[in-house]
Amino acid sequence: MSNMGKFIKIIFWLILFPVVFLTLYTWASLNWVYSYGERIGYVQKLSNKGWVCKTWEGELVLVTIPGTQAEKFHFTVRDPAVVLKVNQLAGERARLLYKEHRGVPSNCFGETSYFVYDAQPIEDEKQ
């Protein structure tokens, strides 16, 4: 094998190995779930954001005790059917079920590590 052939082979492996590693890491980070959970509050915002990679990003306002500072829960929605559910619940009390994925290597999959997979309305109890 000539020196040029060896050089091309080395360059090929130097490029292929990081690409394969990054692909496997991305797959693992999107399929391995760090935690599951749910949050209850008022859907305040849902928007399709991004320059190159458009993602659905939202805010849920968590109201714990009347008169206290409200906390915001930032989340990402990947499923178009769930986007419709969350949009219908805008301004209403809702339960969002989410999965937390840690270590996702890019913002192309979402700006947060919390990915909502279902949204349910909460009926206020009348006394």
Residue 94's pLDDT is: 94
β-partners of residue 123 are none
* pLDDT of 78 strictly over 80: yes
Report, as an integer, the average pLDDT of 39-49.
Answer: 93
pTM beyond cutoff 0.75: yes
User: Reduced to 3 DSSP states, what percent helix, strand and coil does the chain have, rounded to the nearest 5?
Assistant: 30, 35, 30
DSSP letter string, 9-56: HHHHHHHHHHHHHHHHHHHHHHHS-SEEEEEEEEEEEEEEE-SSS-EE
| Amino acid of residue 107 | N
Predicted confidence (pLDDT) per residue in 89-99, tens digit: 998 999 999 99
First to last CA, the chain: 85
Residue 93's pLDDT is: 92
Residues in the chain: 127
Alpha carbons 89 and 59: distance in angstroms, whole number: 12
